[in-house]
């Protein structure tokens, strides 16, 4: 359970870092912007895969190679698919709603950090 929570905390931290550095990258070179975006996508994908790994081990669910490949290439599609496949009928809706809720938390974390940096950066506090 600790590894799953660590992966989720890592995703929240990645969302916060993305929100903090987003405004600073607006005025930087295209190469730096693309590099930062690729790095963020790689970190997020790895953390999602780590969470799925520990969740499936906890549930004794054996993932197929196709599901593993899908999780690495298109996590937005294959994480919900994994949740449906790995849960019993009663728990599927709850798992999907929690996934959507966590996605909303990530979005709001990024947005809040970006807004805070914009306020501080543009001196709107004074």
Tens of pLDDT along 66-76? 999 999 999 99
Residue 125: pLDDT band by 50, 70, 90 thresholds? low
How many domains are there within the chain? 1
Integer angstrom CA distances of residue 40 from 21, 45, 54, 100, 124: 11, 8, 21, 20, 28
**Alpha helix positions (H), the chain:** 2-25, 30-59, 65-73, 75-86, 89-121
102 in any annotated domain:
yes
pLDDT at 63: 96
Q: Work out the percent of the chain whose per-residue pLDDT is above 70.
A: 97
Specify if 126 maps to a domain: no
Question: Residue 78 has what DSSP assignment?
Answer: H
**CA atoms of 126 and 110, how far apart (whole Å):** 24
Q: Is residue 85 part of a domain?
A: yes
With cut-offs at 50, 70 and 90, classify the pLDDT of residue 124.
low
Question: Residue 21: is its pLDDT beyond 90?
Answer: no
Q: Please give the pLDDT value at position 22.
A: 81
Q: Which domain holds residue 87?
A: 2-121
Which of 44, 34, 97 shows the shortest CA–CA distance to 72? 44
């Amino acid at each position: 359970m600790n590894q799953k929570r660590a992966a989720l905390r890592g995703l929240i931290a990645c969302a916060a870092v993305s929100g903090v550095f987003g405004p600073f990258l607006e005025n930087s070179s295209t190469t730096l912007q693309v590099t930062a975006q690729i790095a963020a996508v790689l970190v997020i994908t790895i953390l999602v895969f780590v969470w799925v790994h520990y969740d499936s081990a906890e549930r004794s669910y054996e993932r197929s190679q196709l599901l593993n490949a899908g999780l690495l290439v298109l996590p937005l599609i294959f994480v919900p698919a994994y949740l449906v496949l790995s849960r019993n009928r009663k728990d599927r809706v709850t798992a999907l709603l929690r996934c959507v809720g966590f996605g909303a938390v990530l979005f709001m974390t990024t947005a809040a950090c970006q807004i805070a940096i914009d306020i501080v950066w543009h001196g709107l506090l004074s």
